Structure 1
Amino acid sequence: MSVLGFIESGAQLGLQLLTMKPKRGLQAQDGGSSIVAHATIEEVHQDELEVTEHPVEQGTVIADHAFVRPADLIITAGWSNSPNATSLLGAVAGSIAAQSSAARALIGAVELGAGVINLLSGGVSPVQKAYDNLLAAYQARTLFTVYTGKRPYKNMIIKSLSTTTDKDTENSMLIRIVMRQILVVQTQAVTVPDSSVMSNPASTSSPEDGGVTQPVPAPNINVTALP
């Protein structure tokens, strides 16, 4: 089979993969480009409720409030620019998936397509481009909408990036992306009077409505005339 035949087969398999799996990736909320991995290895979802507690004189502590903390998400994703079927994507597929001829064909087609893209892009590898995009988004504190296999997340920011390069992963990248949700609130500006006019707060404070009051008659007082 020719190279074009491999590319066509890989495109067909890739289309089937997209139709079978949920949408995954990072979409910038400011209208910027999206970041989509060649393979998503793991997604760790963490939701936590914060319960405030206070000790009492006798007995155990008491809880007086509970609120939802920002969501945490850890994504382990992979990119590859090597046509070698034994590199990253073949390894992370696992021994069970690697025993399937269809899985090996899919992995090989994806990596072959990545290698062709590398040649056509003037030597900028998909791995380097993906890492540069992630690093730029991390440094710019870009807000993302993250699509996972479980649910979408809004207002997510990259908290940390972690990857290791060795002799086996020179042409691939397995990166750990730690993301934290940012809770957006609204603020209001208030004008505070100068401290010099606050010497008499009663004269500078805003009028307050005291409600409707009823007159009260004065008490009867007996006055005895002195001699």
Structure 2
Amino acid sequence: MSILSTAAVLVGGTVADILITQKRRIGTIYPQVTISERMHDELAMTDNPVDSGEVVTDHSYKLPAELTMRCGWSESGSLFNDIDSLQIASTPNEAYQNLLSLQKSRLPFTVTTPRRQYSNMLIRSLDVTTDAATANVLMVEVVMREVIIVSTQQTTMAAAEDQASPQDTAATTNGGVKQATVVTDTSVLSKIGTGVESAFSAITGG
């Protein structure tokens, strides 16, 4: 019994039901059958002790979502190659190469499952085990992780003459080469010190 037939028996449906109605997609890759999906969402919380010795949570943030799918391909997929919109690989080897290429591209993609849709995902790992039972099919565990993307904005500052406090907010300018100068100490304390020293020299005859 092929992997597709086995999965069809497990879900009590037909191969066509698995392929078409479940609508699972990894980027542009459609698994012939999905054995399992593990969705992981986690919130991180920072804990800090206070004076009384208690630990309080002062911040929390959402960690990137993770999705693990166990998918399968077999030669039976060639029966559905005439449905171009599904983009199903002709052979297990072709499906495996498609997954490797998607991982290597490092370009975020969208994953669709019956429960939710994931955006900006990357393949963190591909785990394939081949044994006597799976020699002619591809069974792969695809571990994907969300990439949190932020956008930056560029703005143009107003001219210095249009700013309220250009000395504080104006953009830096090239002031050319500066030469260091010797500063003479002309403070009041310096002058008093010089006068006292002269008077003391006159009295002592120094």
Normalised TM-score (structure 2): 0.60
Q: C-alpha root-mean-square deviation of aligned residues, in Å?
A: 2.7
Q: Where do 1:137-152 residues align within 5 Å?
A: 137-152=102-117
Indicate the percent of aligned positions where both proteins have the same amino acid: 38
* Structure having the higher Rg: 2
Question: For 2:134, what is the secondary structure of its paired residue?
Answer: coil
Distance 2:91 2:119 in 1: 26
Per-residue CA deviation, residues 172-202 of structure 1 (Å, 9 max, x unaligned), is 11101000011110124589xxxxxxxxxx9
Residue type of the alignment partner of 1:176: E
Which of 185, 205, 213 is matched with 2:168 structurally?
205
Report the alpha carbon displacement of residue 164 of structure 1 after superposing the two structures with TM: 1.1
Asked if 1:69 is matched to 2:34, the reply is no
* Structure 1 position 166 matched with structure 2 position 131: yes
Is 1:26 aligned to 2:11, yes or no? no
Residues 59 and 136 (structure 1), Cα distance of their counterparts in 2 relative to 1, 3 Å cut: same
Q: Which amino acid aligns with 1:178?
A: V
CA deviation string 1:9-53 (max 9, x = no partner)? xxxx5444455x4311112xxxxxx10111100100111111111
Do the aligned partners of 1:142 and 1:158 also contact (CA within 8 Å) in 2?
no
CA contact (8 A) 2:43 2:61 kept: yes
Q: Deviations for 1:55-94, whole angstroms, at most 9, x for unmatched residues?
A: 223222111111111101001101112xxxxxxxxxxxxx
1:132 aligns with 2:97: yes
Cross-structure match for 1:59: 53
Matched pairs, number: 142
- Partner SS, residue 168 of structure 1: helix
Q: Which has the higher contact order (CA 8 A, sep 6+)?
A: 1
2-structure distance, mates of 1:63, 1:116: 54
Indicate whether 1:49 and 2:43 are aligned: yes
Question: Normalization by structure 1: what TM-score?
Answer: 0.55
Counterpart contact for 2:19–2:33, Cα < 8 Å: no
Which ranges in structure 1 are unaligned for 5 or more consecutive residues?
1-12, 28-33, 82-110, 118-123, 192-201, 208-227
Unaligned runs of 5+ in 2: 1-13, 82-88, 157-164, 171-206
